[in-house]
Amino acid sequence: MILGRILSMIGKKPLAALLQEKVLGPMGLTGTTSSQTSAMPEPVLHSFSSEREVALHIPPKVTFYEEATYWNTQWGRRSARTRAPTSNDLIKTAVAVGTGKLLSRSSYHAMTTPTCSASGTTRPTAYPAASSRYRPTTSGSAW
C-alpha cells in the first residue's frame, strides 16, 4: 500500500493508470482484469488452506483444509484493487520478467549475471545467466 502510494505520487497518476501504462500495456497483458472486490473471473485455480485450523479449534489430529480461493484480499484499504490474470497473461508475465522486457540492459544484466552480491565477484558454480539459457522465440515463448 505504501509503495503504491509512493508510485502514485512520483508518477502523478493513480496507481491503476501507472500499472496499465508502464506494465500491463507494454507486456501485452490483455486478459488481466482489475476489480475492487475479491471477485475473480472463471476459470479459477482453487486454493485451500489450513491457516484457520487453530482459530477454529480443529484438533491437531484432524486433517483440515478449507476453500481459500475467494478469501478477501482487500484487507488493507477500501480502494485497493485485485489484479486477476488469465493463464495466457501469466505466461506472458513469466517471459517478460525472464527476458527483462521492461528493464534497461544494465538492470537485466545485474538480474541475470551470476555474481555474489557481497563481493560483486562471479561465482563459477552459479547458474549461467538466463539470457544464455532461455531465448524467446518470435512467438514470445521462452520454451
Q: Which of 92, 85, 80 is nearest to 3 (CA)?
A: 80
Domain ranges of the chain: 26-133
The predicted-structure confidence for 16-27, as pLDDT tens digits, reads as follows 899 899 999 999
Mean pLDDT (whole number) for 1-30: 91
- pLDDT of amino acid 122: 58
Q: Is the pLDDT of residue 109 over 50?
A: yes
* pLDDT above 90: percentage of residues in the chain: 29
- pLDDT of amino acid 10: 95
**Are the C-beta atoms of 77 and 97 separated by less than 8 Å?**
no
> What pTM, to 2 d.p., does this model score?
0.54
Distances (CA, A) of 90 to 83, 85, 118, 131: 12, 6, 32, 20
Dist CA 85 CA 94 (whole Å) = 12
- Rounded to 5°, the CA angle 102-76-15 comes to 35
The predicted-structure confidence for 56-78, as pLDDT tens digits, reads as follows 999 989 999 999 887 766 655 55
- pLDDT of amino acid 116: 57
User: Is residue 42 very low, low, confident or very high in pLDDT (cuts 50, 70, 90)?
Assistant: confident
User: Is residue 141 very low, low, confident or very high in pLDDT (cuts 50, 70, 90)?
Assistant: very low
Residue 89 CB: number of other CB atoms within 10 A?
Answer: 19
116: left (phi over 0), alpha (psi -120 to 50) or beta: beta
The three cell numbers locating residue 105 = 540492459
User: Is residue 33 very low, low, confident or very high in pLDDT (cuts 50, 70, 90)?
Assistant: confident
Mean pLDDT (whole number) for 79-95: 78
